[in-house]
Amino acid sequence: MRKKLLLTLIFFIIFVCIFVFLKGVNQMPKSVEYRNEQYGFIFTLPDTWKGYKVVWEKWEGWKIDTPNDNVTEQGPKILIRHPKWSEQDPYQDIPIMIFTIEQWEEIQQVKLSVSAAPIPPSELGHNSTYVFALPPRYNYAYQTDWEEVARIFEANPLKTFDP
C-alpha cells in the first residue's frame, strides 16, 4: 500500500513538473527578426514590434583636422521604427549606424567625428566588413517607449554574419 502511494506521489510530482516546464516554455517571449543581407546582421525585436518599418538615412561625419567641419564621410543609418509610430506620437526608433572597418578605426583614433556629442558611437557588433553602432545620445528626446528600446539594447539583440 505504501509503495503504491509513493509511486502515485512520484508520478504526480513528475506530471506537475512537466506541466510547469511546458507552460513556462509556451510563455517565453516571442520575437521578430530584422535581417539585413546587404550588410550582414540580424536584429531581434520583441513580438510587440511585429509590423515594424525600416527607414534609411545617412550619417555624416568630418575629419577632425578638416577646416570648417565640412562633411568628408557618410554612410548608412537604419532606423527600425515601432509599428505604432506616428507623426503625432513618434515612438523611439532603434537606430543602427553602419561603418566600414576603416571608418570605425578613424572614429576610435578620434580622427573622424560623426556627432556633435563629445562621445563616439557605441559598437553593437561587427563582421569582417562592417561595424554596427548605436549613435551617442540616441534617446535624449525621450520619445514614447524610449525605455523599452533601452531594454532591447541591453539584451544584445544584434548578431552578425559575413554578407
Q: What is the pLDDT of residues 67-111, one digit of tens each?
A: 766 778 999 999 999 999 999 999 999 999 999 999 999 999 999
pLDDT of residue 160: 97
Q: Which residue has the cell 506541466?
A: 19
Pair 49, 82: CB distance under 8 Å: yes
Map residue 51 onto helix, strand or coil.
Answer: coil
* Of 145 and 56, more confident: 56
Q: Determine the residue type at 20.
A: V
Q: Which three cell numbers stand for residue 25?
A: 516554455
The bridge status of strand 158-160 relative to strand 112-113 is unpaired
Query: pLDDT tens-digit profile of 25-37?
Result: 444 457 899 999 9
Q: Taking the model in full, what pTM does it have?
A: 0.77
Q: In terms of Cα–Cα distance, which of 53, 44, 50, 39 is closest to 132? A: 39
Query: pLDDT tens-digit profile of 17-70?
Result: 565 555 554 444 578 999 999 999 999 999 999 999 999 999 999 888 877 667
Average pLDDT score over residue span 109-127: 91
